[in-house]
Amino acid sequence: APQQVWEGLLDPGVLAATMPGCEKLELVGDNQYEGTLNIKVGPVQGKFQGKIQLEDIRPPEGYTMKVDGRGAPGFVKATATVGLSGEGDQTRLRYDGDAQVGGRIASVGQRLLDSSAKAIIKQSLDGLNDTLKARSSAAGGNEAVETAVLTPQPPSQTEFAARVAKEVAKDLIPKPVLIGGAILLVLLLLYLILF
C-alpha cells in the first residue's frame, strides 16, 4: 500500500487533478515541480506560482519538501517532512511542516488561514484517496476504465468555495472534533497546493 500512495504523491497529473484550484503542476527537473494555484482564503483571492523541491528522498518511506510560492495575494515559504508507513492493507501518512506567510493573505488572520488550509488539504486528500482507491479497483480492469480513473475532474471553483466555507464553518464553531489519520493526509496536500 505505501508504494501506491508514494507513486500518487509523486505524480503531478494525479495531484493536479485532485487539488482544488490547481491550474497546473508539472515536473520540471529532478525532484522539482512548478505549478499554479488559484485560491481564495476569506476575502483574499488570487493565483500563486510555486516551486517545490523534494530532498532527502527515501522511496516509499518519505521525503523533505521545500516550497516557495508567490503571487499577488502574498508569499509562502515552507519546509515539510512527509512519511509513509504500511499498516496492514492501509497506509499511514505522517506530515510535519513549518511555513512563513506574508502579504495580503497573512492579513486574514491565523485562524481563518489555518481553517482554510485544512479545508483545502482535506479536499485534496479526499480526491487523492478516491483516485488511489479507483486505481486499485481498476488494476484488473480494462484499459478504458483505467484511463478514466487516472484523470479525475477537480471540483469547480463554486464547489471548491462551498466546500472550503463548510469546512471553515465547522472549524470556527467550537465543538468536540475527532481528528483521524485523514486530517494528516489533508494537511500534506494543502501544503502541496498552497506552497
Q: State pLDDT tens for residues 11-57.
A: 998 888 887 788 999 999 999 999 998 887 667 788 999 998 999 99
pLDDT for 18: 82
HSE-CB for 75 with a 13 A CA cutoff: 7
Going along the chain from its start, the domains and CATH numbers come out as 2-194 (3.30.530.20)
pLDDT for 173: 46
- Euclidean distance between the first and the last CA atom of the chain, given in angstroms as a whole number: 26
- Let me know if 168 is exposed, middle or buried by CB neighbors in 10 A (0-12, 13-18, 19+): buried
CA distance 116 to 110: 10
pLDDT for 25: 92
Contact yes or no for 35/16 (Cβ under 8 A): yes
pLDDT for 188: 60
Query: Is this structure's pTM higher than 0.85?
Result: no
Assigned C-alpha cell, 195: 506552497
For the chain, how big is the Rg over CA atoms in Å?
16
For residue 91, which of 56, 136, 138, 57 has the smallest C-alpha distance? 136
Assigned C-alpha cell, 3: 508504494
pLDDT for 93: 80
pLDDT for 98: 76
168: left (phi over 0), alpha (psi -120 to 50) or beta: alpha
In the numeric block, the cell 477537480 is attached to 154
- Entry field: residues in the chain: 195
Contact yes or no for 21/193 (Cβ under 8 A): yes
Contact yes or no for 66/55 (Cβ under 8 A): yes
Mean pLDDT of residues grouped by 10 in the chain (195 residues)? Answer: 88 84 92 90 82 93 90 87 87 79 84 76 79 77 42 54 56 44 56 63
HSE-CB for 104 with a 13 A CA cutoff: 13
CB environment 107-138: b (16+ within 10 A), e (fewer): ebeeebbebbbbbbbbbbbbbbbebbebbeeb
